[in-house]
Amino acid sequence: MFKPRVMRNVKVIDLTHRMFGKLVNLPIYITATALGKLGHPEGEVVLTKAAGTKNIIQMMPTLASCSVAEMMDNALPGQEQWFQLYVNQDRVAVKKLLEKVESRGVRVLFVTVDAPSLGKREKDMRVKFVDDAPDESKHTELNRTQGAARAISTFIDPSLCWDDVSWFKANTKMKIVLKGIQCGEDAVLAAQHGCDGIVVSNHGGRQLDTCRSGIEVLPECIAALKEAGLRDKLQVFMDGGVRRGGDIFKALALGADAVGLGRPFLYGMASYGQQGVEKVIDILAEELTMTMRMCGVTNIKDIGPEYVLANNLNSHIGVAPKGYGFSNAYERMETIDSKL
């Protein structure tokens, strides 16, 4: 719940923010999502162009429909792009990929750590994968009977562990961020192993049913880092379920440095292409501006826990607005009426 303050001069609102030194127009980024061409013929390039126009950051996915070169060739001069990595069992292949993206100027690497195996995605499993595989998956035998996600993810290494952080640090100069932290203990371990950041995330709720959402885990991670004296060692991001500017404000208030969004940008891209993605960004900016004014805050860095009430966050008490996009994400299976 919000805890607004009133009678403050909120005429001028500043939404600009720095992430790993890069000044952007909003404290958000387009998080990595696979197979963009399922939604638009140009795929992830649409997200690249919209992010450049609006000066926000795009995280390029390992399992994109477009190549890294295609995405980066469509970026504006000085546009910041991050890279998300699914770790291949073949470390030689991983090293080559790191060298490729780093040579193109990528400064930040997001290593996905919450997918040692694929969750049971039943709707995806019922829709068979017929498109071309991303480059990362083309050297493996694809099982196209179990849906897109399972078909293209067989190369991912289930042995990835904390010892591998030192391998990454030895093989790239990019900043290392672990994507998929789900408890305070692992947030502390990430800092102790020398990572530059974490993403508090449950992989969009598609990996393990009944895991807590990012916004529920976030306060635990911040508290654990502060208790260990390590909060200033990490950039802390959060993703999952962010649909409104008010959601962004709440995440920032609970300690996130910035917020990642995936599905909203895919919806905008699939419906209206680049203009649709830009419109989503505009809506989020308008809503965040409104929320900041209503709460009496004029600058992103001043958003803190005093502006929200989160003591019942883990109890799931309260009535949330109806989310029609979410409720339609998983369709009921058709059943055959009994003739008995």
Catalytic positions are 203
Cα within 13 Å of Cα(15), Cβ side: 23
242 is in an annotated binding site: yes
The answer to whether 137 is annotated as binding is: no
For residue 17 the two structure tokens come to 């923010």
Distance CA 178, CA 176 (A): 7
Q: Which residues pair with 200 in a beta bridge?
A: 181, 238
d(Cα 112, Cα 108) in Å, to the nearest integer?
Answer: 13
The reply, when asked if residue 86 is annotated as ligand binding, is: yes
262 in a labelled binding site: yes
Q: Are 214 and 241 in contact (CB under 8 A)?
A: yes
Provide the β-strand partners of residue 238.
Answer: 200, 259
Q: Is 231 annotated as a binding residue?
A: no
**Binding site annotation covers 112?**
yes
Question: What Rg value do the Cα atoms of the chain yield, rounded?
Answer: 20
Collect all residues with Cβ–Cβ distance below 8 Å to 311 and sequence separation of at least 6.
none
The answer to whether 228 is a known ligand-binding residue is no
Tell me if 263 is assigned to a ligand binding site.
yes
Q: Consult the annotation and say whether 243 binds a ligand.
A: yes
34 is in an annotated binding site: yes
Check whether 123 is labelled as a binding-site residue.
no
Q: Which helix (H) or strand (E) holds 177?
A: strand 175-181
Q: Is residue 301 helix, strand or coil?
A: helix
**Residue numbering of the annotated binding site for FMN:** 32-34, 84, 112, 179, 201, 239-243, 262-263
**Residue numbering of the annotated binding site:** 32-34, 84, 86, 112, 121, 179, 201, 203, 206, 239-243, 262-263
**Residue numbering of the annotated binding site for glyoxylate:** 86, 121, 203, 206
